[in-house]
DNA sequence: CCCAGGTTGACGTTTGCATC
DNA sequence: GATGCAAACGTCAACCTGGG
């Protein structure tokens, strides 16, 4: 109990803050949508407060989810899927790189201005520093990957394929929906932040392993919710 | 009294729709 | 297809407020 309470000084209860952040990150809602939704339940806060909470507590939540999930993640054949998509920020083209493992967990996301070897290399190094080396890396046919892989020295582990990689591309769908609701991102900083936090929350609630049957889904969702409510409580 | 959370109103950008 | 315009978006800065 000696750790500093991240909710100290907050005038709103932590339950409400957690709910607001979850609504904003998990669903395609704007800040003002969340404000409205909370108002309907008799909670009066400004959309600016929601933004503040998200900026402040979002990374904390994400970090804690990540910490809890790390254990038991590695399987016998550790396979990564790499993919990149472009995102417009104030009319400028940027690229969002993502690494997804074979179970659909989003491992890492990263924003760059260019889509070249340098960017691919930076992203790869960052991901491997955090998660270790995968046995196989699946990419699309973008040549920057091959060049980067050669430099790192695991070109032999690369597999390319037009259809091999939809694992990663599937995870773009919820992201695109989100982008639409936000009417595009304004700043690189917030895109990077949103990508990282969204990945963690997405992993927590949409884990593929337990989506097989309805009852499993319900059980999993209840567990995920319980875990969410426990974030940063200690 | 200080300082952090929270409010308010304005701003630049993007989108969807109507109109030409 | 081009143009104009209102609405909605996230963001910013100035301001308010209440607990330590």
Q: Looking at the 3D structure of chain A, how many domains does it have?
A: 2
Q: How long is the CA A48 to C1' B8 vector, in angstroms?
A: 10
**A85 and A62 housed in the same domain:** no
- Classify residue A24 by burial, with Cβ atoms within 10 Å: 0-12, 13-18, 19+: buried
Does A234 fall in a domain?
A: no
Shared-domain flag, residues A66 and A80: no
Q: Looking at the domain assignment, is residue A135 inside a domain?
A: yes
Strand order of the β-sheet with A136-139 is A106-112, A92-101, A79-89, A136-139, A158-160
- Asked if residue A5 is part of any domain, the answer here is no
Q: Which residue has the higher pLDDT, A188 or A214?
A: A188
Residues A65, A84 within the same domain:
no
Domain membership of residue A3 (yes or no) is no
- Residue A22 has a CB neighbour count (10 Å cut-off) of 19
Task: List the domain range (segments joined by +) for residue A46.
Answer: 14-70+211-229
Tell me which residue has tokens 């395609």: A28
Residue nearest B6 (alpha carbon to C1'): A49
**Cα A84 to Cα A13: distance, rounded to the nearest angstrom:** 38
A28-64, pLDDT tens digit by residue? 889 999 999 999 888 999 999 999 999 999 999 998 8
Give this prediction's pTM: 0.82
Both A216 and A199 in one domain: the answer is: no
Measured from Cα to the C1' atom, the residue closest to C12 is A48
Cβ atoms of A129 and A151 within 8 Å: the answer is no
Distance A10 CA to C18 C1' (A): 11
Q: Provide mean pLDDT across the span A80-85.
A: 85
The per-residue pLDDT for range A179-204, each reduced to its tens digit, is 777 767 888 888 889 988 988 888 88
Tell me which of A14-23, A102-111, A113-122 is least confident: A102-111
**Do A40 and A59 have their domain in common?**
yes
Q: Are residues A36 and A139 in the same domain?
A: no
Q: What is the end-to-end Cα distance of chain A in Å, rounded?
A: 7
DSSP state of A185: B
A85 and A186 in a single domain? The answer is: yes
Token look-up 């669903």 returns A27
Q: How far is the CA of A183 from the C1' of B19 (A)?
A: 24
Protein-covered nucleotides of chain C (CB closer than 7 Å) are 8-13, 18
Rg of chain A (C-alpha set): 19
Strands A136-139, A158-160: parallel, antiparallel or unpaired by DSSP?
parallel
Give CA–CA dist A188/A173, Å, rounded: 20
Whether residues A180 and A148 fall in one domain: yes
Question: Same domain, yes or no, for A21 and A64?
Answer: yes
DSSP, collapsed to helix, strand or coil, labels residue A83 as: strand
The three state secondary structure string of A55-76 is HHHHHHHHHHHHHHHCCCCCCC
| Whether residue A200 sits in one domain with residue A138 | yes
Q: Which CATH number goes with the domain that contains A191?
A: 3.30.420.10
Residues A36 and A133 in one domain: no
Q: Do residue A57 and residue A146 come from a single domain?
A: no
Q: Nearest nucleotide by C1' from A51 CA?
A: C10
């Amino acid at each position: 109990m000696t750790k500093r309470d991240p909710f100290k000084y907050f005038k709103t209860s932590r339950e409400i803050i957690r709910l607001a952040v979850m609504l904003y990150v998990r669903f395609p809602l704007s800040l003002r949508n969340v404000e409205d939704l909370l108002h309907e339940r008799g909670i009066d806060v400004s959309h600016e407060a929601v933004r503040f909470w998200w900026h402040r507590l979002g990374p904390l939540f994400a970090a804690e989810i990540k910490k809890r999930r790390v254990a038991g993640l590695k399987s016998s054949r550790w396979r990564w899927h790499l993919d990149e998509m472009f995102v417009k920020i104030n009319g400028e083209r940027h690229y969002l790189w993502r690494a997804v493992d074979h179970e659909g967990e989003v491992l890492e996301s990263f924003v760059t201005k260019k889509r070249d070897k340098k960017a691919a290399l930076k992203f790869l190094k960052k991901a491997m520093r955090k998660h270790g080396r995968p046995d196989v890396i699946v990419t699309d046919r973008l040549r920057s990957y091959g060049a980067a892989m050669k430099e790192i020295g695991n070109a032999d582990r690369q597999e390319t394929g037009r259809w091999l990689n939809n694992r990663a591309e599937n995870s773009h769908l919820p992201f695109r929906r989100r982008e639409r609701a936000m009417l595009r991102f304004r700043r690189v900083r917030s895109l990077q932040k949103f990508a990282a936090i969204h990945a963690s929350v997405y992993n927590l609630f949409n884990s593929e392993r337990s989506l097989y049957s309805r009852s499993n889904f319900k059980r999993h969702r209840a567990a995920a919710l319980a875990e969410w409510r426990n974030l940063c409580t200690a």
